[in-house]
Structure 1
Amino acid sequence: MATLAVLRHDEGVRLDPDRLVALYSDLGEAGAEQVVCRAMEELAGRLTEIQRFADDGDVAAMARSARLLAKVAEQIGMLTFARVAGDVLRATAAGDRTAQAATLARLVRIGDRSLNAVWDLRDMTI
């Protein structure tokens, strides 16, 4: 009888708190809060959009959204999220549909964890 293996995807996320501190230092608390909130909304929307484009087979639109997602994530210190979005872009550019699907699934997992991590970090005193 075959044994079923269960894979657990428990990967940590990497945030650069120095980028958030720099935002707060440059823009003040109110300005930084606005920037971070807008970025978080943008990232959540882009993540949903990327999934929809992938389901529809619109590779060009998916790549465009992944590129924008990577830029925004990097700006607010979500390094892992930005890197995995880049991985999705590379798999898409290579035309590797299997790698694209795998990296997209990883992007969703990392995205959820990254968004939660930034919200948790914002709750702490900066």
Structure 2
Amino acid sequence: MKVGTVERIGMLAYDEGVRLDQERIEDLYRRMGDAGAEDVVCRALEEIAVRMSYANKLHKRGDLAEMRKCLRSLSRIADQIGMVALSSVARDVCACIDQNDAVAMAATLSRLARTGDRSLTAIWDLQEFMM
């Protein structure tokens, strides 16, 4: 044991950008019209929010098989409406489950929450711009 040693603890700042595939969203609006696309996006956003909450509950319960199913579904829904970053992070959490890496899974699940919050806000903002 060293006497007089000062340990430094640093905090990491998380500033990860949100990636939306604007072309995919614009394509939805072109194909379905404003009302149809808005309905699809709103339903998708609701499902994403529900699945993110459910994934956290499953993590706390330790039900990794069901959590993986939930996240794969979340990834597909996010991908359909152009939420590229969210879809990718959900797949990353699945990879952590597959590798049985609890520490990485917890960290990546936290990243999913941050990315999800930012993505939901970004797509709402984009939707308002498109109307």
TM bucket normalised to smaller: over 0.9
1:80 matched to 2:85? The reply is yes
Instruction: Name the Cα RMSD after superposition.
Output: 0.8
1:50 corresponds in structure 2 to 55
Structure 2 alignment gaps of length 5 or more: 1-5
Residues in 2 aligned to 1:41 and 1:125: alpha-carbon distance in whole angstroms:
19
Aligned pairs for 1:9-88 (under 5 A) are 9-88=14-93
CA distance in 2, matches of 1:42, 1:125: 21
Percent of residue pairs bearing the same amino acid type: 46
Aligned equivalent of 1:107, options 112, 118, 127: 112
Q: Normalization by structure 2: what TM-score?
A: 0.94
User: Residue 124 of structure 1 aligns to a residue in which SS?
Assistant: helix
- TM superposition outliers: structure 1 runs of 4+ over 4 Å: none
Q: Aligned residue pairs: how many? A: 126
User: Structure 1 length normalisation: TM-score?
Assistant: 0.97
Question: In the alignment, which residue of structure 1 is the partner of 2:3?
Answer: none
Q: Aligned-pair distance for 1:2?
A: 1.9
What's the offset of the Cα at 1:35? 0.1
Classify the secondary structure of the residue corresponding to 1:7.
coil
| Cα-to-partner distance string for 1:11-67 (whole Å, 9 max, x where unaligned) | 001000101100000100000010000000000000000000001101011101000
Structure 1: state its 5+ residue gaps.
none
Bigger Rg over Cα: 2
Paired amino acid for 1:15: L
CA deviation after TM superposition for structure 1 residue 3, in Å? 1.9
SS in 1 for 2:130: coil
